[in-house]
């Protein structure tokens, strides 16, 4: 049996941190997983991972202590099932605007009778011969609330059985509100929308999450009440390190 410590910590109201991996580099995800971070998010919506490459990324993550998770490219039953069949223990579903869409995501993540996931496993068998007996209790299903419509429907979305919380997308939320993402941190309206998401999670007993660009931002958003937080990305860390190096070199 493989215990998903992120899901259980969130249920205890503890913060959990992850790094997003979008470069398509197996060495990068293995390195990030060995850092001690709680989870690695294999970024399929905007990242460089194809389906087969994402499978390999889960294998590389297993070289460290992080929980393997992925953001699928869309709320698609087959895409979600394929990622679970190959070993993902957490699924993040983008652009969920309604309770009906949330139910579709949750159903795809859970075997009957809790959901409608198809029976049949690939690399997930490496989690143990008893995989099917416990996966419904360990898989983490997080939906993305990232539009003004989703904020209006947040409590209904989060009250959906099988949805464990959200990973809010602040940039897309800003765009849906007519705010350029470069200015969202200066917008009181945007800030209040994030507060509404946290409140909806609190009211439904679910975990509020947010995409952040750095560890410092993740700590700041934790103070707002968010608990499932990405704290940077492989490309972000590489770019920041390279820029810092140039400053030392006087370039």
DSSP H helices in 131-187: 131-138, 148-152, 154-158, 170-176
Q: Which two tokens stand for residue 93?
A: 């579903």
**How many CB atoms within 10 Å of residue 121?**
17
Give the neighbor-by-neighbor strand order of the sheet with 140-143: 165-166, 140-143, 90-93, 67-71, 39-43, 16-21, 228-233, 209-212
Q: Which residues contact 33 (CB under 8 A, 6 or more apart)?
A: 40, 60, 61, 62, 63, 64, 65, 66
**How many CB atoms within 10 Å of residue 198?**
20
Q: Which residues are known catalytic residues?
A: 46
- Pair type for strands 140-143 and 90-93: parallel
């Amino acid at each position: 049996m493989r215990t998903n410590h992120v899901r259980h910590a969130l249920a205890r109201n503890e913060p959990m941190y992850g790094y997003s991996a979008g470069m398509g580099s197996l060495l990068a995800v293995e390195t990030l997983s060995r850092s001690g971070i709680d989870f690695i998010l294999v970024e399929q919506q905007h990242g460089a991972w194809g389906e087969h490459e994402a499978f390999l990324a889960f294998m590389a993550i297993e070289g460290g202590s992080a929980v393997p998770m992925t953001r699928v490219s869309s709320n698609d039953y087959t895409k979600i099932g394929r990622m679970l069949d190959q070993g993902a223990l957490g699924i993040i579903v983008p652009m969920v605007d309604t309770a009906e869409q949330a139910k579709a995501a949750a159903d795809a993540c859970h075997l009957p009778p809790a959901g409608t996931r198809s029976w049949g496993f690939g690399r997930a068998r490496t989690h143990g011969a008893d995989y099917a007996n416990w996966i419904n209790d360990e898989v983490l299903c997080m939906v993305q609330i990232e539009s003004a419509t989703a904020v209006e429907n947040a409590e209904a979305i989060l009250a959906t059985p099988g949805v464990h919380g959200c990973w809010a997308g602040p940039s897309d939320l800003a765009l849906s509100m007519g705010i350029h993402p470069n200015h969202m941190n200066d917008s009181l309206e945007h800030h209040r929308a994030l507060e509404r998401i946290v409140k909806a999670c609190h009211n439904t007993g679910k975990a509020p999450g947010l995409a952040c660009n750095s560890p410092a931002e993740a700590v700041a958003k934790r103070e707002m009440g968010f608990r499932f937080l990405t704290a940077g990305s492989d490309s972000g860390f590489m770019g920041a390190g390279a820029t810092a190096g140039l400053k030392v070199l006087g370039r």
